[in-house]
Structure 1
């Protein structure tokens, strides 16, 4: 038993995974393309999580399914790249920036469609909710049977010492699910970083990372009032020439954080005072990389690579999801799952019945076969029947016919998709052998009750095979 399992798409340096793990999920896999982020992820999660360090377009969900060892995926979590939707990049533009990464949200749907997790969670910038790609994915997820809720929330209401708005989407095949609401208790900058030792005295290499500046910039920092001061408080002689021009926005740049408030949003420029309000409340420097990570709620011992450019490290930290926010949302999902899976709430038979109903929402292959049956005039099927102890995927009780839509790997088909992993060979041979034995028992039971059955393999459901598949179905249904 794997417990509650999760997969983290676009996992970055591991903010989502850290939150999921703290909530009690076993994150079996993460997917990340960026080299620096993948390096940080491995440093912290390689002990229990398989990292697919590649383009998500190239990841086959069958490889994820093998890690589940026959059990359902409890949660699919994702934070697709949001650069094209971010308000900073759009500035005053109404539409999203033309960025090919905008389309990656459709990979979230692909994984949900092919893995059919019990619950799903997506987090992103608020502006994503305005765009057609998001609306299309939401509509398609609802078509898969997910009950959905999506809202825009501020992470400062969830124990994160930072002002940061996020779009959250939750979905469940088990029924209604709601996004956890935050509280009015704020965690301040003071409570998060005041008691840290100085960068000069620390043994933490991440806490030593912050920029040095030319004399004029350093002097500007030194005379910026402590605890919330900004460039608007400076004499004109100390203003940069670019800041003297009328109509210049971004008033927070070269500003100090306030001790007894939350910080401004920690972005990818968090180690550069020209990118936002990232000066320490009283020290004459910017935040250190460790301070920025703590304001993102990473644990104090979370590891990051130190052999990369400072700007790359800042980008990694700023792009991460705050683990504490993810933990609270994941904890809410876990409580939703507990209602079904806690043994003192439902007995084994009832849970099995519920999971059968989840399965009957249909895998991608099953949905294709259902559509094909309808197009051939055989649309009066059912998804279950009390006449049989086993559970075919499609049944026609009046005709006494059953159809099984079998995944090649899990049912041991003699094809490329049915190839067993080279590692842990004995486990997989025993697992697949037991599945095949159970299949044969089911087929014998069906025939003993005067039914006939048709097995359709996953590898057969291809466009080039449709004519042959249609002929097989027609012969089976009319015989």
Structure 2
């Protein structure tokens, strides 16, 4: 039976996706608030720094998943990771050659955390084991890093697929792009095929490829809300002056850690109550009763891997 170890496990998006595929295993998470949510949800949790552990601590795990912190890579962040992207890619190649790499040389310590899954993978291989499957996801700006991972992992005997996926094409009621990597030691692996149509502004939900399901709207995810519109909390393209607007008949904008600032208005233009944690979580594909706990809940939700995407990635990895 497949058992997982989830790195940077957050509030449980990848765990929930794994459990949907019958895959159990603990998650490592250092943030107190995310740990509180995980434990309230009954998820096996190690409250620790990923850097303080390694594959030797979880010898039964055959699937490794991870979503390293994105703050230094995302357009909405400061961009420290993007500025040293070439150095990060070089570090990946050097690790593949078994050269020592000091992540501190990359500046902001969060930038170097994107190297941690590779450290675990290579350490497990060098111990004579090797994870049977790997699933990684991050903001789309990290795609070049995953491509560098792929080169290293193929040299170690893995079949690897990378790409940028659109979450609404996997049943998430939100348009969000994620850079992903799937690897498997035995047999060929490929990215999961979309199950839903892509969202295109102005194209009705029922139009498009008849072999795919319609994308899921906010109204379908939040049926008790009635008709509403949202005003983007961060601005199209990351420009706060360029705030877009969508109706409840469309998918949500990308859910970020500022989801609590999202303005909702009714058809007459009146302000509506802001999204509850349960509602914001549902826009990430979490169940309505997910027990969001602790502080900074908006950030927990924004950082999470959307559950339907996680399910699709893990299914592709272990199929």
Task: Name the TM tier (shorter chain).
Answer: 0.7 to 0.9
Specify which structure has the higher proportion of helix: 1
Relative distance call for 1:33 and 1:288 in structure 2 (3 A) is same
| Counterpart secondary structure, 2:134 | strand
Report if the CA contact (8 A) 1:19-1:327 is conserved.
yes
Q: What does residue 262 of structure 1 align with? A: 251
Q: What does residue 103 of structure 1 align with? A: 112
1:127 matched to 2:115? The reply is: no
Question: Per-residue CA shift, 1:288-313, capped at 9, x if unaligned?
Answer: 221110111101111111x53xxx11
Report if the CA contact (8 A) 1:179-1:329 is conserved.
yes
| Counterpart secondary structure, 1:62 | helix
1:14 matched to 2:48? The reply is: no
Q: Which has the higher contact order (CA 8 A, sep 6+)?
A: 2
- What is the number of equivalent residue pairs in this alignment? 269
Q: Describe how 1:379-398 pairs up with structure 2 within 5 A.
A: none
1:36 deviates by 0.4
Relative distance call for 1:186 and 1:136 in structure 2 (3 A) is closer
1:143 deviates by 2.4
Q: What does residue 289 of structure 1 align with? A: 277
If the length of structure 2 is used for normalisation, what is the TM-score? Answer: 0.77
Q: Distance in 2 between matches of 1:252 and 1:45?
A: 40
1:314 matched to 2:298? The reply is: yes
Q: 1:113 aligns with which of 122, 141, 153?
A: 122
Q: 2:165 aligns with which of 144, 148, 153?
A: 153
Q: What does residue 279 of structure 1 align with? A: 264
Structure 1's consecutive aligned runs of 4 or more residues displaced over 4 angstroms after TM superposition are: 90-94, 280-283
| Counterpart secondary structure, 1:166 | strand
Relative distance call for 1:259 and 1:52 in structure 2 (3 A) is same
Relative distance call for 1:229 and 1:301 in structure 2 (3 A) is closer
Q: Distance in 2 between matches of 1:93 and 1:110?
A: 18
If the length of structure 1 is used for normalisation, what is the TM-score? Answer: 0.52
Q: Distance in 1 between matches of 2:81 and 2:112?
A: 19
Q: What does residue 250 of structure 1 align with? A: 240
| Counterpart secondary structure, 1:170 | strand
The higher radius of gyration belongs to: 1
Report if the CA contact (8 A) 1:267-1:318 is conserved.
yes
Q: Distance in 2 between matches of 1:91 and 1:106?
A: 17
1:113 deviates by 2.0
Q: Describe how 1:150-189 pairs up with structure 2 within 5 A.
A: 150-182=162-194, 183-184=196-197, 185-189=214-218
Relative distance call for 1:175 and 1:42 in structure 2 (3 A) is same
1:129 deviates by 1.8
Q: What does residue 89 of structure 1 align with? A: 77
Bigger shift: residues 175-184 or 291-300: 175-184
1:252 deviates by 5.5
1:147 deviates by 1.1
Question: Unaligned stretches of 5+ in structure 2?
Answer: 86-106, 125-129, 198-213
Q: Distance in 1 between matches of 2:265 and 2:156?
A: 48
Question: Per-residue CA shift, 1:311-334, capped at 9, x if unaligned?
Answer: x11000111011111112212223
Question: Per-residue CA shift, 1:340-374, capped at 9, x if unaligned?
Answer: xxxxxxxxxxxxxxxxxxxxxxxxxxxxxxxxxxx
Question: Per-residue CA shift, 1:416-457, capped at 9, x if unaligned?
Answer: xxxxxxxxxxxxxxxxxxxxxxxxxxxxxxxxxxxxxxxxxx
1:171 deviates by 0.6
Report if the CA contact (8 A) 1:230-1:252 is conserved.
no
Q: What does residue 52 of structure 1 align with? A: 46
Question: Unaligned stretches of 5+ in structure 1?
Answer: 198-225, 232-242, 336-479
Q: Distance in 2 between matches of 1:331 and 1:173?
A: 15
Relative distance call for 1:107 and 1:281 in structure 2 (3 A) is farther
Report if the CA contact (8 A) 1:106-1:137 is conserved.
no
Report if the CA contact (8 A) 2:230-2:265 is conserved.
no
Question: Per-residue CA shift, 1:67-87, capped at 9, x if unaligned?
Answer: x2xxxx331111111111101
Relative distance call for 1:229 and 1:122 in structure 2 (3 A) is closer
Q: Distance in 2 between matches of 1:60 and 1:319?
A: 23
Q: Describe how 1:409-424 pairs up with structure 2 within 5 A.
A: none
1:250 deviates by 2.5
User: Superposition RMSD on alpha carbons, in Å?
Assistant: 2.7
